[in-house]
Structure 1
Amino acid sequence: MNRRGLVKPALIVVAALLAGVLLWQGFGNGGEEAETRSGRGWGPDGERPPTPVRVSTATRERLAVELKALGTVTPLRSVTVRPRVDGQLQRVVFEEGQQVEAGDLLAEIDPAPFRIQLAQAQGQQKQNLAELENARIQLQRYLDLSEAAYVSAQDVANLQAQVRQLEGRREIDQALVDEARLQLQYTRIVAPVGGRVGLRMVDAGNLVASGDEDGIASIAQTQPISVLFSLPENVLGSVIDAMRGDSALPVEAWDRGERNVLARGTLSSVDNRIDTETGTLRLRALFANDDDGLFPNQFVNVRLQLGDDETLVIPDAAVQFGGDGTYVYVVNDDNTAAVRPVVLGAGSGGRVAVLDGIAAGDRVVLEGIDRLREGAEVEVVQTDEAPVDDAPAQDDEPAT
């Protein structure tokens, strides 16, 4: 048999093998697909059953407009108490952490050297005042004699100049006395502002000087106290409009975990410029802080309430985030799911305002979103009439 006769039977064998492989793969895949559909709950006719979902109804209600930010507790006034004269610290009368009022005595420097300086200035003043009084008497005598031409006009002029010179020295002496009395007063170190005293930086018996950087202690005003926080510049208009109202805007300070309210206060002021590096605006809120719930330099979560408006509200758990923006799944009257792009407004307490995209009465899906697609049949197993905030949000893009 020649070579051509051998090739033909070989081709027939190869074709038969390929056909067998294709048939095997077809039956195998079909079995796997049937098994997979059966495992997922597909019906015997190959159709997918309705997806169970939990929904909530979009309603119109009053929603508090609330802005959140991170803030830092900042004293309205914070000073470092430094001595204004040099000397030995004689005694310290304050307790660390004590609340003091402006003018309360904190410490005292040895006043003896300053009393001596005051006595010297007063003695010099008395001496010069005596010379001035004698010069005035002599000038008056010369003026009387000059009318009878017993003294020359030059002598009168000389005495007048001497009197003016002594009058100038009198003012200098008075200034020296006042300065010595002020230095003596500075030996009593008093609180320049009211607030809480910090840790003592120096003990009695040490020599202190007016140039000491650390000072004796620091005082921070804690009642009332303020919180500084920043908001993005795009909400500036809303804040300014809300501040035009009759009452101050409420502000709450929460702890780090946002579980407890530390204090309630009001918005005090807004900075006069926007930070160009961060695009934010600084604001200050005031708190009475009667219970010392806020402490200087403490980090808090700030909630600024701008008011409340009637708007369309849904649970924020229904909101999804995709490549084309925010959207929700809505259940139609025929129990099919539909994707609706939405425009969101302010949110508060697990609820969020919807400015555009859905209408009042629409049913939005809260749970079962990960198994939905456009036009899919659904089975509503639970309807929440009131908005809830315990359902986790899904980050799935709409199915096609």
Structure 2
Amino acid sequence: MRIRRALTGAFLAFVLVAGGIAGWRLLAEPAAGAQDRKGPEPPVTVVLAAAEARDVPVWRSGLGSVQAFQTVTVRARVDGQLDDVAFTEGQQVRQGDLLARIDPRPFQASLDQAVAQKARDEAQLANARLDLQRYQTLSRTEGASRQQLDTQRAQVAQLEATVQSDAASIDNARTQLDYTRITAPLSGRLGVRLVDAGNIVHAADTNGLVVIAQLHPIALLFTLPQDDLAAVLRRQREAVGAQPDATPEGGPREPPSNGLPVQALARDGRVLSEGRLLLADNRIDPASGTVQLKAAFPNLDDALWPGQLVSARLLLETRRGAVTIPAAAVQRGQEGPFAYVLKPDQSVELRKLRLGPQAEGSAVVDEGLAAGEQVVTDGLHRLRPGARVKPAGAQARR
């Protein structure tokens, strides 16, 4: 009886197991068939761009402010009443142009007095010389003592010195008279008039009459990080050595034709003016770790104005025939920058890159990519090495 029950239980267990296996096969076969009918994963739609070889300018950018190339505060050099103001505010003047006149009559009188004094002393000198000749004649016949002769010689020498002093007084009086005509010490644009005609002006006045600013050329002071200084100095020496320095003695009046190119940019990125680098300051600011540089611009169209804040861009070099790709194609991982490159079978591979400078939305590729190869610029988040892709807008392959 017990044996029969055991056999019956074993038989029922076998039936249940066999039924479960059969049911699993029935459920698995349709799923497998559906998977077979689905086929491989569809290609990922991406945007591609071709790597191209072109000349790439390498810029260094910083903030700067415009200042006049030279600035002079015109002051009176003698005291007197300001008779006339001969300029208009904001006028462009040339060196030597008349700006104002101080009442010249007191200075003319001083000059006339010095001339008269010299004439009187010259007359006395002439008479003293005649007396010296008489004493010399008398001394030969002992008609005059040697003491008289020596005294007369001293009198002549004293009067000669007096005449020389008179000549110096005349020169000084003439100079003071010339100072009553106030002229422009340099070419430039005048500012606001600081003194009106009729006022008494003094040589000790600190405000002056007007300020002249040289705007053609004009200067731009800007800063760059100290890490760029060595490269800038090296390139500047190469640029200056390639062309003769035409800077006139006594300071430049025109921007140099050599030196690294510099652009002044507006806030919206427009190029306002182009000039040349003059120099780098002889010290680095330890507080900011930057160095100040100075550039000169012709500024013939008055695009730059003293006190204006601009962005400065210095052309350090131009990379000839550099391979470039859009900056959007560059990805960064634990092993450095990389890009997805299209292969002939319409799949992508991960390519490690060694990058150069980046500017204007493009990246220079020093190693890892050749001109003409295509890289993915959009749709990167769904890619993996070996994934099949379809360019955006292209017909899907069947």
Q: Is it true that 1:233 corresponds to 2:242 in the alignment?
A: no
Report the residue type matching 2:352 in the other structure: R
Given that 1:228 and 1:284 are in contact with CA atoms closer than 8 Å, whether structure 2 keeps it comes out as yes
Residue segments in structure 2 that go unaligned for 5+ positions in a row: 1-36, 244-256, 394-398
- 2:300 partner letter: D
Counterpart Cα distance in 2 of 1:206 and 1:69: 46
C-alpha distance in structure 2 between counterparts of 1:289 and 1:240, whole Å: 25
2:187 to 194, 200, 203: 194
Determine the structure 1 residue equivalent to 2:352: 340
Residue 103 of structure 1 deviates from its aligned partner by 0.6
Give 2:282's match in structure 1, choosing from 251, 273, 277.
Answer: 273
> Partner residue of 1:290?
300
| Secondary structure, counterpart of 2:167 in structure 1 | helix
Structure 1 portions without partners, runs of 5+ = 1-43, 384-400
TM-superposed deviation, 1:307: 3.8
Question: Shift in Å at residue 376 of structure 1?
Answer: 6.5
**CA distance in 1: counterparts of 2:387 and 2:84, whole angstroms:** 85
Asked if 1:84 corresponds to 2:80, the answer is no
Give the TM-score, by structure 2 length.
0.76
One-letter code of the match for 2:299? N
Is residue 125–residue 160 contact of structure 2 (8 Å, CA) maintained in 1? yes
Q: Are positions 1:98 and 2:91 aligned together? A: yes
Aligned counterpart in structure 2 of residue 58 of structure 1, from 46, 51, 68 = 51
Shift of 1:200: 0.6
Give the aligned length: 337
| CA drift at 1:382 | 4.2
Rounded to whole Å, the distance in 1 between the matches of 2:142 and 2:129 is 20
SS in 1 for 2:211: strand
Q: Residue 170 of structure 2: which of 168, 174, 177 is its match?
A: 177
Any idea what the Cα deviations from partners look like across 1:142-164, whole Å, max 9, x if unmatched?
Answer: 11111111111121111111111
| Structure-2 change in CA distance of 1:329 and 1:336 (3 Å) | closer
Decide whether the 8 Å contact of 2:262 with 2:277 is kept in 1: no
Amino acid at match of 2:79: D
What letter corresponds to residue 366 of structure 2 in structure 1?
A: L
Question: What is the aligned-residue RMSD (CA, Å)?
Answer: 2.9
Deviation at 1:183, TM superposition (A): 0.8
Report the secondary structure of 1:123's partner residue. helix
Give SS of 1:269's match.
strand
| Segment drifting more, 229-238 vs 173-182 | 229-238
Give distance in 1, aligned partners of 2:390 and 2:153.
111
Q: Does 1:301 align with 2:324?
A: no
Shift of 1:215: 0.7
Residues in 1 aligned to 2:262 and 2:282: alpha-carbon distance in whole angstroms:
21
Alignment partner of 2:324 out of 305, 313, 321: 313
Identity of aligned residues (%): 40
Instruction: Report the Cα distance in structure 2 between the residues aligned to 1:206 and 1:180, rounded to whole angstroms.
Output: 23
Deviation at 1:272, TM superposition (A): 5.8
Query: Which shifted more, 107-116 or 195-204?
Result: 107-116
Q: Residue 337 of structure 1 contacts residue 373 of structure 1 at CA under 8 Å; is this kept in 2?
A: no
Aligned to 1:360, which of 355, 363, 371?
371
Letter in 2 for 1:142: Y
| Alignment check: 8 A CA contact 1:107 1:190 kept | yes
Displacement of 1:338 in angstroms is 1.8
Distance (whole Å) between structure 2 residues aligned to residue 131 and residue 66 of structure 1: 78
Give the alignment of 1:103-142 within 5 angstroms.
Answer: 103-142=96-135
Distance, in Å, in 2 between the alignment partners of 1:198 and 1:113 is: 30
2:349 and 2:204 mapped to 1: Cα distance?
A: 76
**Does the 8 A contact of 2:262 with 2:314 survive in 1?**
yes
Normalised by the length of structure 1, the TM-score is: 0.75
Deviation at 1:284, TM superposition (A): 3.3
Change in Cα spacing, 1:354 to 1:274, as seen in structure 2 (3 Å) is farther
Q: Deviations over 1:185-227 (max 9, x none)?
A: 1111110001100001111111111122211110111122232
Alpha-carbon contact 1:330-1:365 (below 8 Å) kept: yes
- CA displacement, residues 241-269 of structure 1 (integer Å, 9 cap, x when unaligned): 344434734433221211x322233x242
Which residue of the partner structure matches residue 381 of structure 1? 391
Offset of 1:45 from its aligned partner? 7.8
Q: 2:146 pairs with 146, 153, 170, which one?
A: 153
In the TM superposition, residue 327 of structure 1 has moved relative to its aligned partner by: 4.1
Q: Is this contact kept in 1: 2:81–2:103, CA < 8 A?
A: yes
Post-superposition Cα deviations, 1:255-311, rounded to whole Å, max 9, x if no partner, equal 1211x322233x242236341524444443332222211112222223333345121
